[in-house]
Structure 1
C-alpha cells in the first residue's frame, strides 16, 4: 500500500513541476492528497471510488455510491490529471462537479484526446474558455460525440445556413444542442421539406437559431407536424407558422390531440397560436 502512495505522490510532484504554480493547482493537489488518506483505510476498490467522488468531486454519498457501480478506479492518478486539466482550462469547481455528475466516465478519459480536441475546436472559432466550460458542463454529451462525424459537420451545416461564423457561435451558445442534431436523418431533410412547403429561409433560420429542437425529429413525424399546421390555417410565409410547428413538436401526442379538439371548436388563429405555445410551458 505504501508503495502505491509513494508512486502517486511522485506523479503529483511531477505534475506540480509541469504546471504553473497557482492557488487552484495547489487546491487540487491538496484534495487528491486527502483522497490518498482514505486509501489507507479503505483498500476496497469500490470504497475508494466512492470516497474519491465524495472528497474530490463533491458528490453526495448516494450519488457517489450509485456512480461507483459503473465507474471504478484503484488510484487517483488518471482522475487527478482530468480534474487538473479541466481546472486549468477555465472550469470552476462547480462546473467540474456538474460535468462529472452528468458524465462520470469523463473522470477516466485521456484529457489530451477527448476534452482537448473539443477545446481546441471551440477556441479556433473564437469561443472563450469561459463559454467552452459552460457548453461542456451544460451539455457533456458533446464530449462523447465524434469531432469528424458530428461536431464539425454540425457546425459547418449551421454556418452555411446562417452564413456567419459569429452568429453561428452565438446560436450554439444559446442552444448547445445544435451540435447534437442528427443532420442526415433529421435536420437536412426537415429543412428541405420546409422549403418545399414554401417556408421562407428567413423563417427556417429563425427556427434553427432559436428552436433547434424542432429539427431533431424524424422526417416522417416532422412532415406530419408541418402538414397539421397547414391544415390549421397557418400561413407558411409568416413567423406564426414556424412557431406553431415548434409548439406541436414540443408536446406529447395526448396533449396535441386535446389541443386540436379545442382548436377545431372554432377559435381564431391568434388564440390558436397562444394555445399551442402554452403547451411548451405545460399549460
Structure 2
C-alpha cells in the first residue's frame, strides 16, 4: 500500500519520501501565526516604548510580574490610576488575582486603555455569551480588538457555523487566539476552502470544535493537507480526517521528521506508524519525552509487544502519571489478591474510560479491598507486577 502512495505526488509519506528530502509538511509560519492587532481607537495610547521605564517596571512587579518579565515588556504605563482602574475592572468581572496577573503579563498595553470606554464593552459582550474570565486571561489581546469591526462580526460568523452559543464557547475557549484571525482574510477563505475540498457543514463545525486554529490556515495549505491525508488513505468522511487536519496544521517539517525518527528509534516499522497515524492522528502531537517514557514503560515495565502498543495508539496520548500508572496499580493489587488473572485484557483495561474502569476494577472490589480506591486515586504507587505472566491481549483476542 505504502509503495503505491510513494509513486504519487505525495507531500507527507512517513518514511521513504522523507529520506529523499521531500518536505512532508510545507509549513508556512506566515500563514498560520498572525500578529496581535489592536483596535484603531487604542493604538495611540498603547504604543510600546523601545526601552523599559523604571517606574513601569516597578509597577508591573507590583502587579505580580517578576523583575525580569517586567523589564522585558517594552511598554510605559502612563497613568497608574488608569492602570489600577483597568485591573479593578477585571476583578469586577470575576477575574481572580492570578488571572489579572496573567492578563497583565501577556498584554500590559491594556493598562493604558480607557477601562470604561474601551475594555468594559468587550467584557460585557463576552460575558453576555457566557464566556469565563480564564478564556480572556489566556488571550487578553482579544480585548484590544475593535468590538464593532472585528469581535462581533467574527462571533456572528462562528455562531452561524457552530450552531449554538454552547458550541461557540467550547470552540473559542479551547483556542481563544483564533479570534485574532481576520474575518475576511482568514476565517471566510479557510471555511470556503474546507467546503470546496469536500467537508460538509457538520464536519466543519466539528473541526472547529476540535481546534478552531484551523481558521488561520491559508487556502493553499488546506489544499495540500487534503491531498496529503487522502494519499495516506484517509477519507474526507472519516473522523480521523478531521484530527489529521488538526495535526498537520500544527507540526513543522522539522518536528514531523523528528517524531518519525523517534518512533523509528524504538523499532516501529513504516506500516505500523502509518496505521497508527490513521487510527489516532493526534499521537504525533504528544511531546517527545512523553512518548519515550510511555514506550519504555509499556515495553520495559509491562513487557508489552511493540506491535500491540502501536495497534492501540491511544495509549500514547493518555497521561502516564494520571491515567496509566494508577490503573496499573489497581490491576497489580487485584492480581496479588487473586481477584483477576494474568490473562486479563490489560491494554484495553488501560485504555477504557474512567467510568468503565472504575465500575469493573474499583467499585466491584472496594468493599473487601479498600486499597483499590487509593490506588485508583494515585495514592498507592505502582511497583510492577512482580514477574507475573502479564498478557497484553487486545479486544479481538
**Secondary structure of 1:250's partner?**
coil
Aligned 8 A contact 1:87 1:93 in 2: yes
Answer with 271-280 or 205-214: which moved more: 271-280
Match of 2:64 in 1: 58
Cα deviation, 1:216-246, whole Å, max 9, x if unaligned, reads 1111112111111111111111111111121
Distance 2:185 2:57 in 1: 40
Match of 1:84 in 2: 88
The alpha-carbon distance between structure 1 residues 227 and 259, as it changes in their structure 2 partners (threshold 3 A), is: farther
Match of 1:282 in 2: 287
Match of 2:168 in 1: 168
Aligned 8 A contact 1:185 1:219 in 2: no
Aligned 8 A contact 2:162 2:205 in 1: yes
- Mark the runs of 5 or more structure 2 residues left unpaired by the alignment: 1-51, 289-397
Match of 2:276 in 1: 271
1:203-282 aligned at under 5 Å gives the runs 203-256=203-256, 265-267=270-272, 270-273=275-278, 276-282=281-287
Match of 2:56 in 1: 49
Aligned 8 A contact 2:171 2:211 in 1: no
TM-score by length of 1: 0.72
Aligned 8 A contact 1:82 1:111 in 2: yes
Distance 1:275 1:50 in 2: 47
1:77-226 aligned at under 5 Å gives the runs 77-125=81-129, 127=130, 131=132, 133-226=133-226
Which has more radius of gyration?
Answer: 2
Distance 1:64 1:238 in 2: 48
Aligned 8 A contact 2:85 2:115 in 1: yes
Query: 1:109: Cα distance to partner?
Result: 1.0
Bigger relative contact order (CA 8 A; separation at least 6): 2
The alpha-carbon distance between structure 1 residues 175 and 255, as it changes in their structure 2 partners (threshold 3 A), is: closer
Query: 1:70: Cα distance to partner?
Result: 2.5
- Mark the runs of 5 or more structure 1 residues left unpaired by the alignment: 1-44
Distance 1:80 1:175 in 2: 29
Size of the aligned set, in residue pairs, is: 232
Distance 1:222 1:170 in 2: 23
Query: 1:138: Cα distance to partner?
Result: 0.9
Distance 1:281 1:245 in 2: 16
Query: 1:187: Cα distance to partner?
Result: 2.8
Distance 1:63 1:111 in 2: 24
Query: 1:274: Cα distance to partner?
Result: 5.1
Cα deviation, 1:29-78, whole Å, max 9, x if unaligned, reads xxxxxxxxxxxxxxxx94332322223x02222222333x42243x5322
Runs of 4+ in 1 over 6 A off after TM superposition: 258-264
Distance 1:191 1:264 in 2: 36
Match of 1:28 in 2: none
Aligned 8 A contact 2:197 2:223 in 1: no
Query: 1:159: Cα distance to partner?
Result: 0.8
Query: 1:160: Cα distance to partner?
Result: 0.7
Aligned 8 A contact 1:136 1:142 in 2: yes
TM-score by length of 2: 0.53
Aligned 8 A contact 1:154 1:178 in 2: no
Query: 1:100: Cα distance to partner?
Result: 0.7
Query: 1:195: Cα distance to partner?
Result: 2.4
